[in-house]
Amino acid sequence: MSHLTRTERPDRPARLAAALLAGALLLAGGAPALRAQEEGGNTTTNSARYRFEGNKWLALDLAVGDVRAEAIRFEWPATILRIKTAYKGLAKVTNGSSRQVKIGVAIALYDADGRLIGAGTSGTTLGTVDPGDTAQFAIEFGNVTARLEQAAQFHIALEAK
């Protein structure tokens, strides 16, 4: 067994990158979904990988219980009056349950070789999504954008609390 001193432990960003890579490798085999449940049973997460297409609505088949990610649209930049708009995704999530829920959405983008080229998250910050309502979440890809035009697939995680 290896014992690391405090200075030898990987820093938090390195641990996070290793965890993301491990998750990506686990799902790279085409597994349809990954589910995790937080202790206490109040938070559930489900994820799936899809083929990427920009600037059109894509149907999703992703649910956490009765909460469903219905569709997503990736909006790639356009130049309007010499100002370039942002890279973003718009995810539509419907709460088909009988209770109010908090929603979290995370997206990772991959190139044709399966390399991670961008990521973003969104969700409810104040309040919840009421039973029967559909909410739209904007996921911005604002800092790592150099290779986003090469996106070939995406992985989306949906969390409901």
Low-confidence ranges of the chain (pLDDT < 50): 1-40
Q: Which residue has the tokens 């080229």?
A: 117
> What integer pLDDT is reported at residue 48 of this predicted model?
97
- How many domains does the structure of the chain reveal? 1
Number of other CB atoms surrounding residue 156 within 10 Å = 20
> What integer pLDDT is reported at residue 41 of this predicted model?
54
Domain with 104 in it: 9-160
Q: Is residue 3 part of a domain?
A: no
> What integer pLDDT is reported at residue 112 of this predicted model?
97
Q: Is residue 13 part of a domain?
A: yes
Q: Is residue 4 part of a domain?
A: no
Q: Is residue 156 part of a domain?
A: yes
> What integer pLDDT is reported at residue 93 of this predicted model?
98
Long-range CB contact pairs, 126-132, < 8 A, 24+: 128/100, 128/101, 128/102, 129/67, 129/93, 129/95, 129/100, 129/101, 129/102, 129/103, 130/95, 130/100, 131/95, 131/96, 131/97, 131/98, 131/99, 131/100, 132/95, 132/96
Q: Is residue 87 part of a domain?
A: yes
> What integer pLDDT is reported at residue 60 of this predicted model?
97
Q: Is residue 1 part of a domain?
A: no
> What integer pLDDT is reported at residue 81 of this predicted model?
73
> What integer pLDDT is reported at residue 76 of this predicted model?
83
pTM of the model: 0.72
Q: Is residue 28 part of a domain?
A: yes
> What integer pLDDT is reported at residue 86 of this predicted model?
81
> What integer pLDDT is reported at residue 138 of this predicted model?
95
Inter-residue contact 139 to 72 (CB < 8 Å): no
> What integer pLDDT is reported at residue 11 of this predicted model?
42
> What integer pLDDT is reported at residue 113 of this predicted model?
97
> What integer pLDDT is reported at residue 147 of this predicted model?
93
CATH number, domain containing residue 113: 2.60.40
Q: Is residue 2 part of a domain?
A: no
